[in-house]
Structure 1
Amino acid sequence: MTTLPNAETLQQAEALLAQIPLDRIPAHQRPRADWMLDDQFPISSFVGREDLLKQLAAAMASTTPTMIVPTLAITGMGGIGKTSLALEFAYRYGHYFAGGVYWINADYTPIATTAATILPSVDRLWQKLFPQRDSSQISPEQRLNEIKSFFNSPIPRLLIFDNCEQQWIFESYRPGPQSGCRVLMTSRNAVWSSSNVRAIAIDLLTPAESRQMLQKLAPRVTDAEADDLAKLVGYLPLALHVMGVALGTLEPSLPVANYYQRVQQALVAELETSANTLQNLHRSPTNHQWSVVATVRVSYGLLKRSYQDEAKLRHLLLLLACCAPNAPIPIDLLVRATEQDSATVGGWLYVLRQSGFFDHDPPQLHPLMREAIRIIEAEHYPNAANIMTAALVAEGKDAHEKWQREAMLALVPHLSACHETEKTKQGYTGNVLAIIAQINQRQGNYRQAEQSMREVLEYEIAVYGYEKQEVITTQHNLANILYDQGLYIEALNLFQEILTIEQQILDAEHPHILATKHELARVLQAQGEYAQALELYQTVLASNQRVLGTDHPSTLASQHNIASVFLAQGDYIQAQELYQTVFTIQQRVLGENHPSTLAAQHELARVLVAQGNYVKAQDIFKAVLVINQRNLGTDHPHTLTTQHELARVFLMLGDYDQSLDLFQTVLVINQRVLGAEHPLTLSTQHHLASIFLAQGNYVKAQEVFQAVLPTKQQVLGAEHPDTLATQHNIASIFYSQEAYDQALDISQTVLNIEKQTLGDDHPDTLITQSNIAVCMARQGQYYEAVALFYEIIPKQIRCYGGTTHPKVQASIEIRDAIVAAFWQKEQG
């Protein structure tokens, strides 16, 4: 949390702000070390705008107390220089803000729509403010709250939200009324519903400013030539920038008159070709936007004169135009699309950057530049779009299969833009959207993934019909997403439907049939149907070993899940042996940090917990957690599951405070990411109540258990082990309150179900029996209680592998205490 400045510091900061010059434009100054400008630098070709800079300064300079944070929005059409003006203000006036200058790229792409989304530049700001802390250990919510606390300090700061087109994004980060921040936004949106945002429209450059810009970039251009060129393109900054680079860098020996003639001819041709349109742009009432097309077309011609690889350069530029605007384009994607090595692609990108088509590295195109390239290359655009679509799908599949989180996120805006284009084509099967859905599933955004996958299914059914393999595969993926959300009945029904179709058209041991049976077994296991699940897993395993081999991922997945059934059934020795086998092979085949390897390591730790080796389990969970947070993110279900298990270990070790803190953190994220009825959410609530029970807070514990029980009964079923565990703990509360009859009634009901579903020797069955024995002793039924413990303890010894397990020791101690109490009563 940010420390509030003392009165003297605040007074000095406000006095500094009051010194902002209103009648002159200060010179550029080097940013202070505490600023964060997100690698943004002033534009070398920036000119003019003095009146606007003074207007911004006057609005920001006031130190009069107010209930509203001063907020200005620089608005205007694309290519007019909004970002350049904001940068210029930051570098010239930033030193008058004692609290620093902070640049936030608010350009929004729908990677995720949850409230947990934190803008990358805001995350980088958090890391700058707290360099000694590991962001992977801090939830996005906590980081966001700490950033807001920083913003809400009364010290004057300048916050710049660049490309802020969505008002909800600004409102998510907007400083509170007592903040000392001044906020500057750039946006094409000229109308803001909040009356607290003052919009300042930015217009075209003046003739003098236009002349100055051209001569900055191409000093050889005379005043008269600059005036003619600026007038020709309507004084639009983006077009002037392309002109200046063309004359100053791309073709410095070309006569200006010749260049003027080329642009003039190109502009006339564009205006006369009514078939040409600029799509999805905020148009001005004039034809200024066509000046960008004309100047870019001329620069294309100059490329041909200057570079032998002109055709390849143009092809690469067109591939860039097939991607989303204002979003960095991964180099690996361009390497795949061009079928060139990274050094060659890097060299071409350098030429294009020097030629004025973009300014960023990695490249990203201005929306007007992107559309201009598409218009100029209209004949070649369809082929380039197909190439980029294939490259995006291939890169997306690779990143998804390899669990490359950053690579997946970098591709999503371009996949989204590609989908928007492809879905207008006849015969589109949704293959691009399917990659987006799978990436969302990898990131744990299950609801988005489900929505997208259902849409893919509609596309495929319209093209293929119902029994095509592509449709079956998509149904299979959808069923997995339903499973991930805890919608077991829906998932089970869909898998059974898929299996029926596959058995009609495929061989019995076809990999698709084996995969479907495997997923069916997973659903049955989640529903607590262990015997059915185990039988199906073992059938699939035998086929996988015969058809795919012992080291194949599908074979290992079957063994992993068989081990998980053994664990659920209380067969810890077999579970541990099989998990260890799988873990050893996965380390060799997949690598130590692969999610499947980590999952096996995670389950080995769960076996250790079941065996009472809490300290060693804690070490493993912590190690897995660090890798999951780094590779998958803090909100991913795998990360949350590991945190959940770690919190359980803290509970077992009696560290209630640490367990409570971690469970509460996980619960908040579970409810938002997975939903209130997801099994992991319900399990987290169950364990929170267990902490209250262990702390003796019986009222609170009973309140939470009673709230969770009906949802578990509805979602999981009345006989599911997790449902029985909640009833078991409710019985424990009644026991602690000496309501032994009620405790016995519930425990006996649970025991009857456990014997039927889990078996007489299952650890849960034995625990319930031991609780019944304790209740009997409390009611004076000593003989019955001791007899029951003599029945329970040998089974526990076999189950846990000896007498050293804490549960075995506890049973022995309780039995001996009952015997001692009985003899004491007899002797008394």
Structure 2
Amino acid sequence: MAEFENSGDHRGSNAFQGASVTNDGQIIGTQNNYYASAPAPPEVSAADLKAAGDLLASLPEDAVPKPAPLPAGSAVTFRPNPHFVGRQQDLKALARALKRGGTSAIGPTAAATGLGGLGKTQLAAEFAHRYGRFFAGGVYWLSCAKAAGIRGEVTRCAQAMGLPVDDQDSIGRVLARWQSPLPTLLIFDNCEEEDLLAEWRPPSGAARVLVTSRRATWSSGLGVEALPLGTLTPAEGAALLHGFRPDLPADDPGLAAISEELGHLPLALHLAGSYLRRYRHVPEGTPAAYLAALRAAPGLDHDFLAGGEWSPTGHDLNVARTFTLSLDRLDADDLADRTAWVLLFLIHAFAPGEPIPRWLIHRAAASLETPIDPKAAEDGLRRLLELGLIEEEDPDEGTLRMHRLVARFLAAHADTARRVVEKAVLEAAREQNATGLPGPLLAWQPHLRFVAETAADQGTEGAWVL
């Protein structure tokens, strides 16, 4: 499954005097000017409404249907991806979230969220082609990567509907259809700004909205059900690679090892598979040679994690640039963003891919030359979660996790952060051992081991103490 996503500038636009969202999750202001001036939704007969409701009710929640033709007039940007594997549980979760309400209530909004490169756009495309037939009002795809381009996206939908597009009322006609009581599926791809969702989501009718976003947290007033997207399972990662190299045994251990090294991230696996296929006739194209080169090369800026074959979602096939897009959204003039930047490098210095207790991150932040107080640290962590640069492993326990490739990407700039984390981990370990009850230390022992081994590799003075 070549499933991944990337995007351009996500900053909101002031082009519309639309709704806005306050820090406590309340929506203020008016809806988008276009909705306010749109004509009334078209009349729907009782018979058509019942048929549409019955069709939606038949949408399966516990089984994933095969791809099928979309309703007439639909506008979906991407075709089904022949490399798509796995994601069965994610598709079912979206189906359950978007089926709710029938035709009697305002349609729900669900967001597939997570790190760049996880395949959110590809998942949305797959959902459209597998479940779109159950939405009688049609399926419509809008790229929200650039706020200024959404009008053009709506005009494209008008063309698919067969509506006139040569006058100023064309957008209003589309929005009127989207406020119909007929269940419609709208996909807001790469929607990072809450204001943008509030502006363009229908204020009434039975339309469902599927959002893809790196943003993990949404204001409660928007009523968004966030569905965090994880990496592939080890078996799915190996299967994705095997799709590029069917000449190899399906259980080739080299494919499983590559997937493990890349943290089972779909974008990275697509690039690895493309590389293995491109060089399959030379020694460099064997799984063992690729794995050795991957482990020997620092960072992510090299040819076996960039380029690749044609992208089924039209995105930039480069892992480093995908992560850079998130980093570029951190504003140096914003205090929370500056704090997030510091915390990002601290978190990187823990064991990649392992759950990190929140208190241990606070401990490291307090150990800085200029300490970060707990409230400011929480603001910074929330910002990193919004950008998908870290994920919440367990909301109840408060543990967080950074993907191993994000940590690798940051490695070239993290000497200071590494030393701070070494100090915080050493102090915490000493305190825990002094209690005579080392049991709680087992929960974060991977970080103690990782920090100790890294300190030894780097020749840090006193590394033997760790």
In structure 1, the residue matched to 2:119 is 81
In structure 1, the residue matched to 2:270 is 241
Query: How far apart, CA to CA, are the structure 1 residues paired with 2:270 and 2:162?
Result: 39
Q: 1:356 aligns with which of 309, 316, 331?
A: 309
- Tell me if 1:96 matches 2:134: yes
In structure 1, the residue matched to 2:350 is none
Q: 1:124 aligns with which of 125, 133, 156?
A: 156
Gaps of 5+ in 1: 112-116, 272-289, 301-351, 375-416, 421-828
In structure 2, the residue matched to 1:646 is none
Is the Cα contact below 8 Å between 1:98 and 1:157 reproduced in 2? yes
* Structure-2 change in CA distance of 1:357 and 1:370 (3 Å): farther
Query: How far apart, CA to CA, are the structure 2 residues paired with 1:367 and 1:123?
Result: 31
Q: Could you say what secondary structure the match of 1:246 adopts?
A: helix
Normalising by structure 2, report the TM-score: 0.56
Query: How far apart, CA to CA, are the structure 2 residues paired with 1:11 and 1:33?
Result: 19
What pairs up with 1:578-597 in 2 under 5 angstroms? none
Q: Could you list the per-position Cα deviations for residues 376-407 of structure 1 after superposition, in whole angstroms to 9, with x for gaps in the alignment? A: xxxxxxxxxxxxxxxxxxxxxxxxxxxxxxxx
Q: How far is 1:298 from its partner?
A: 3.1
Is the Cα contact below 8 Å between 1:242 and 1:357 reproduced in 2? no
* Structure-2 change in CA distance of 1:254 and 1:229 (3 Å): farther
Q: How far is 1:44 from its partner?
A: 2.1
Q: Could you say what secondary structure the match of 2:297 adopts?
A: helix
Query: How far apart, CA to CA, are the structure 2 residues paired with 1:14 and 1:371?
Result: 40
What letter corresponds to residue 294 of structure 2 in structure 1?
A
Q: How far is 1:221 from its partner?
A: 3.0
Is the Cα contact below 8 Å between 1:104 and 1:161 reproduced in 2? yes
Q: 1:35 aligns with which of 54, 58, 74?
A: 74
Is the Cα contact below 8 Å between 2:283 and 2:289 reproduced in 1? no
In structure 2, the residue matched to 1:174 is 201
* Structure-2 change in CA distance of 1:154 and 1:369 (3 Å): same
Q: How far is 1:235 from its partner?
A: 0.5
* Structure-2 change in CA distance of 1:127 and 1:270 (3 Å): same
* Structure-2 change in CA distance of 1:196 and 1:68 (3 Å): farther
Q: Could you list the per-position Cα deviations for residues 647-684 of structure 1 after superposition, in whole angstroms to 9, with x for gaps in the alignment? A: xxxxxxxxxxxxxxxxxxxxxxxxxxxxxxxxxxxxxx
Root mean square deviation of aligned Cα: 2.9
* Structure-2 change in CA distance of 1:4 and 1:60 (3 Å): same
Query: How far apart, CA to CA, are the structure 1 residues paired with 2:324 and 2:58?
Result: 46
Query: How far apart, CA to CA, are the structure 2 residues paired with 1:122 and 1:129?
Result: 11
What pairs up with 1:651-662 in 2 under 5 angstroms? none
Q: 1:61 aligns with which of 89, 94, 99?
A: 99
What letter corresponds to residue 191 of structure 1 in structure 2?
T
Gaps of 5+ in 2: 1-38, 332-466
What letter corresponds to residue 253 of structure 1 in structure 2?
H
Query: How far apart, CA to CA, are the structure 1 residues paired with 2:305 and 2:118?
Result: 20
Query: How far apart, CA to CA, are the structure 2 residues paired with 1:371 and 1:167?
Result: 21
* Structure-2 change in CA distance of 1:358 and 1:97 (3 Å): closer
Q: How far is 1:373 from its partner?
A: 11
Is the Cα contact below 8 Å between 2:142 and 2:150 reproduced in 1? no
What letter corresponds to residue 370 of structure 1 in structure 2?
R
In structure 1, the residue matched to 2:280 is 252
Q: How far is 1:269 from its partner?
A: 3.0
Query: How far apart, CA to CA, are the structure 2 residues paired with 1:35 and 1:257?
Result: 41
Q: How far is 1:232 from its partner?
A: 1.5
* Structure-2 change in CA distance of 1:372 and 1:160 (3 Å): closer
Q: Which has the higher strand share?
A: 2
* Structure-2 change in CA distance of 1:143 and 1:11 (3 Å): same
In structure 2, the residue matched to 1:227 is 256
What pairs up with 1:192-211 in 2 under 5 angstroms? 192-193=218-219, 194-211=221-238
Normalising by structure 1, report the TM-score: 0.32
Q: How far is 1:90 from its partner?
A: 0.7
Q: How far is 1:94 from its partner?
A: 0.8
Is the Cα contact below 8 Å between 1:190 and 1:199 reproduced in 2? yes
In structure 2, the residue matched to 1:185 is 211
What letter corresponds to residue 81 of structure 2 in structure 1?
I
Q: Could you say what secondary structure the match of 2:203 adopts?
A: coil
Is the Cα contact below 8 Å between 1:22 and 1:58 reproduced in 2? yes
Q: Could you list the per-position Cα deviations for residues 189-235 of structure 1 after superposition, in whole angstroms to 9, with x for gaps in the alignment? A: 11111341010000010011112111112212331222111111110
Where relative contact order (Cα < 8 A, 6+ residues apart) is larger, the structure is: 2
Q: How far is 1:41 from its partner?
A: 1.3
Number of equivalences: 285
Is the Cα contact below 8 Å between 1:18 and 1:62 reproduced in 2? no
Is the Cα contact below 8 Å between 2:71 and 2:137 reproduced in 1? no
* Structure-2 change in CA distance of 1:367 and 1:151 (3 Å): farther
In structure 2, the residue matched to 1:298 is 304
Query: How far apart, CA to CA, are the structure 2 residues paired with 1:72 and 1:367?
Result: 28
Query: How far apart, CA to CA, are the structure 1 residues paired with 2:242 and 2:262?
Result: 15
Query: How far apart, CA to CA, are the structure 1 residues paired with 2:310 and 2:70?
Result: 28
Query: How far apart, CA to CA, are the structure 1 residues paired with 2:305 and 2:203?
Result: 48
What pairs up with 1:349-498 in 2 under 5 angstroms? 355-356=308-309, 358-359=311-312, 365=316, 368=319, 370=321
* Structure-2 change in CA distance of 1:270 and 1:8 (3 Å): same
- Tell me if 1:24 matches 2:50: no
Is the Cα contact below 8 Å between 1:152 and 1:175 reproduced in 2? yes
Q: How far is 1:256 from its partner?
A: 7.8
What letter corresponds to residue 49 of structure 2 in structure 1?
L
Query: How far apart, CA to CA, are the structure 2 residues paired with 1:20 and 1:200?
Result: 19
What letter corresponds to residue 205 of structure 1 in structure 2?
L
What pairs up with 1:578-657 in 2 under 5 angstroms? none
Is the Cα contact below 8 Å between 1:74 and 1:82 reproduced in 2? yes
Q: How far is 1:5 from its partner?
A: 1.0
Q: Which has the higher helix share?
A: 1
* Structure-2 change in CA distance of 1:32 and 1:67 (3 Å): closer
Q: How far is 1:255 from its partner?
A: 5.0
Q: How far is 1:259 from its partner?
A: 4.1
What letter corresponds to residue 152 of structure 2 in structure 1?
P
What pairs up with 1:786-825 in 2 under 5 angstroms? none
Query: How far apart, CA to CA, are the structure 2 residues paired with 1:118 and 1:97?
Result: 22
What letter corresponds to residue 321 of structure 2 in structure 1?
R
Is the Cα contact below 8 Å between 1:105 and 1:121 reproduced in 2? yes
In structure 2, the residue matched to 1:720 is none
